[in-house]
């Protein structure tokens, strides 16, 4: 393929110059070209590069994302062009040759999207169904034991994400929680609106996950529609074992930078391989879906290739998280190119169906970087592991006595009461 190169500027001069500014125009269907152009600008033009984007049909979500990108200015289609600012085609990219910066056609390849520097906007997403509602409440109440963060943040939201329709019984029930926490700027409720055929396991969870990652121009369930750059999927059986677990998630994103810094994220997914006690063969090497994701358009394009081969609603699928790695194992060339985008970390440990012995003091000592555990045995393990000594029993008997003799307690829900006792005992256990 013969490329068409346009000389832009000598890189040595660029580093020492004050401004390197270009203008382009873009509609919603050209946004991946625009992101590739911006990524190439951020990759080679350092902090001096600026791009003016003429909006000729961008979506709301695309505009929100652009506002988080470094040195990007959005202007309306009617805005008069400045004579001294050159134009560049949105389907081009910047490219250096021998210390000189050129522009060339991107040839339908998008190699620079992950080089975009942006201020992060993180969503903590808790997906759940009706049968998990009580587990959701338990999970939210764990803040009484383990505070999520040290300080308030304007870049982190909490999303409660159920499988039913807006205004359904579950949706109304969720809106009555009225949960508040200083660690989250906004608390949103998403409704996946699954059909009857979709509303089963494991298809339902896969479709709910996929809807979060749909391109922002096609769905309001898309996290990119709201301007999010990253999200952490936290199912109701994922629990903290230390305070400030949210700060640790943020650190995985900013990697030592200030929270207001413009950063590029080269990875797509960070999480845990299988750390439990069941035998899974080589499948233990895949990253569990309870993980931190980079909402990169290049990742979304990659997921389209995976879903073509492993449709989420077919027998070919082994689960949306395992499908990613089966695809990489099968397609060696893709694996060589993209495997580094999936990174293991122990800030969360996946101990599906077994637990991790996380109530054992030796586990906490040997895993100082682990703040979250995923596994549906966790609640049972917490309950069985509580050291209910004589003083605790006295407290429990005293509270039960009050319930019997004080009439105003007769309206208290027993389920709520049991939960509060468990959390109190957990708190006493933590103080030890």
Token pair belonging to 371: 């703040």
**CA–centroid distance for 58 within its chain:** 24
- pLDDT for the residue numbered 66: 98
- pLDDT for the residue numbered 2: 44
DSSP string, 244-275: -HHHHHHHHHHTTS-TTS-B----SEEE--B-
Averaged over 307-313, what is the pLDDT? 84
CB atoms within 10 A of CB 257: 12
Name the pLDDT band for 403 (thresholds 50, 70, 90). low
Q: Is residue 93's pLDDT more than 50? A: yes
Averaged over 375-391, what is the pLDDT? 49
- Using CA atoms, how far residue 157 sits from 21, 48, 67, 223, in Å, is 34, 32, 18, 11
Q: Is residue 1's pLDDT more than 60? A: no
The pLDDT > 70 percentage for the chain reads 81
Mean pLDDT of all residues belonging to the chain: 85
Sign, CA torsion 332/336/341/345: positive
Q: Is residue 83's pLDDT more than 80? A: no
Q: Per mean pLDDT, which range of 203-207, 243-247, 366-370, 399-403 is the poorest? A: 399-403
- Residue 17, C-beta contacts closer than 8 angstroms, at least 6 positions apart: 9, 48
Token pair belonging to 103: 């522009």
Averaged over 194-217, what is the pLDDT? 89
Name the pLDDT band for 190 (thresholds 50, 70, 90). very high
The torsion angles phi and psi of 409, rounded to 5 degrees, stand at: -85, -10
**Structure letter (DSSP) for residue 287:** P
In this predicted model, which residue has the larger pLDDT, 330 or 430? Answer: 330
- pLDDT for the residue numbered 431: 52
In this predicted model, which residue has the larger pLDDT, 21 or 284? Answer: 21
Cis peptide bond prior to 202, omega within 30° of 0:
yes
- pLDDT for the residue numbered 145: 93
Q: Is residue 141's pLDDT more than 60? A: yes
- Residue 206, C-beta contacts closer than 8 angstroms, at least 6 positions apart: 312, 313, 317, 319, 320
Name the pLDDT band for 214 (thresholds 50, 70, 90). confident
Q: Which of 265-269, 301-305, 379-383 has the highest mean pLDDT?
A: 265-269
Q: Is residue 284's pLDDT more than 90? A: no
Name the pLDDT band for 102 (thresholds 50, 70, 90). confident
Averaged over 96-108, what is the pLDDT? 89
> Are the CB atoms for 51 and 117 separated by under 8 Å?
no
- Residue 343, C-beta contacts closer than 8 angstroms, at least 6 positions apart: 267, 269, 270
- Residue 374, C-beta contacts closer than 8 angstroms, at least 6 positions apart: 235, 237, 238, 272, 288, 290, 348, 349, 350, 351, 352
Averaged over 376-383, what is the pLDDT? 50
pTM for the structure as a whole: 0.85
**How far, in Å, CA of 213 to CA of 192, rounded?**
12
Averaged over 71-99, what is the pLDDT? 90
Name the pLDDT band for 219 (thresholds 50, 70, 90). confident
- pLDDT for the residue numbered 4: 52
In this predicted model, which residue has the larger pLDDT, 412 or 62? Answer: 62
- pLDDT for the residue numbered 16: 43
- pLDDT for the residue numbered 430: 52
- pLDDT for the residue numbered 410: 47
**How far, in Å, CA of 308 to CA of 289, rounded?**
19
Residue 52 DSSP SS3: strand
- pLDDT for the residue numbered 81: 79
- pLDDT for the residue numbered 426: 56
For residue range 13-28, list pLDDT tens digits in order.
444 444 688 999 999 9
- pLDDT for the residue numbered 389: 45
- Using CA atoms, how far residue 155 sits from 115, 120, 187, 231, 245, in Å, is 20, 7, 12, 11, 16
- Using CA atoms, how far residue 248 sits from 232, 251, 257, 273, 360, in Å, is 12, 5, 13, 18, 22
Q: Which of 141-145, 149-153, 159-163, 402-406 has the highest mean pLDDT?
A: 159-163
Burial of 324 (0-12, 13-18, 19+ CB in 10 A): buried
- pLDDT for the residue numbered 400: 61
Name the pLDDT band for 313 (thresholds 50, 70, 90). confident
For residue range 327-365, list pLDDT tens digits in order.
999 999 999 999 999 999 999 999 876 778 777 788 899
Pick the CATH number of 122-378 from 3.90.550, 2.40.30, 1.10.3210, 3.30.70: 3.90.550
- Using CA atoms, how far residue 251 sits from 165, 216, 329, in Å, is 35, 26, 30
Structural domain boundaries of the chain?
A: 6-115, 122-378, 388-431
């Amino acid at each position: 393929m013969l490329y068409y190169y346009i000389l832009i500027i000598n890189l040595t001069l660029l580093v020492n110059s004050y401004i390197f500014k270009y203008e382009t125009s873009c509609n919603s269907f050209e946004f991946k070209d625009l992101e590739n152009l911006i990524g190439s600008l951020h990759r080679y033009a350092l902090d001096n590069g600026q791009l003016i984007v003429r909006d000729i049909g961008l979506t709301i979500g695309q505009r929100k994302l652009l506002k988080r990108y470094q040195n990007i200015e959005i202007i309306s289609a009617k805005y008069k062009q400045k004579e001294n600012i050159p134009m560049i085609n949105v389907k081009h990219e910047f490219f250096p040759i021998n210390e000189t910066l050129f522009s060339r056609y991107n040839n339908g390849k998008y190699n620079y999207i992950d080089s975009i520097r942006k201020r992060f906007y993180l969503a903590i997403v808790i997906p759940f169904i009706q049968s998990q509602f009580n587990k959701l409440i338990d999970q939210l109440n764990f803040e009484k034991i383990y505070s999520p963060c040290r300080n308030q943040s304007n870049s982190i939201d909490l999303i409660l994400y159920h499988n039913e329709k807006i205004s359904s019984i579950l949706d109304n029930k969720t809106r009555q929680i009225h949960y508040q926490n200083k660690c989250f700027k906004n608390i949103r409720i998403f409704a996946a609106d699954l059909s009857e055929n979709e509303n089963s396991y494991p298809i339902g969870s896969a479709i709910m996950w996929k809807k979060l990652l749909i391109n922002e121009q096609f769905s309001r369930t898309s996290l990119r529609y709201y301007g999010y750059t990253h999200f952490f999927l936290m199912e109701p059986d994922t629990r903290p074992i230390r305070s400030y677990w949210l700060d640790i998630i943020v650190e995985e994103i900013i990697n030592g930078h200030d929270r207001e810094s413009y950063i590029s994220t080269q990875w797509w997914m960070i999480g845990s391989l299988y750390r439990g006690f069941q035998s899974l063969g080589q499948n233990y090497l895949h990253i569990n879906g309870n993980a931190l994701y980079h909402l990169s358009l290049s990742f979304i394009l990659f997921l389209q290739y995976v879903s073509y081969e492993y449709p989420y609603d077919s027998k070919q699928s082994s689960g949306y998280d395992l499908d990613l790695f089966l695809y990489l194992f099968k397609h060696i060339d893709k694996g060589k190119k993209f495997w580094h985008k999936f990174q293991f970390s122990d800030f969360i440990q996946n101990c599906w169906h077994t637990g991790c012995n996380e109530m054992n003091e030796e586990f906490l000592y040997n895993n100082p970087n682990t703040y979250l555990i995923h596994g549906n045995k966790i609640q049972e393990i917490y309950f069985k592991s509580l050291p209910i000594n004589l003083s605790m029993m006295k407290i429990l008997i005293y509270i039960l006595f009050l319930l019997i003799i004080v009439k105003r307690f007769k309206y208290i829900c027993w389920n709520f009461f049991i939960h509060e006792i468990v959390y109190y005992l957990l708190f006493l256990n933590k103080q030890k």
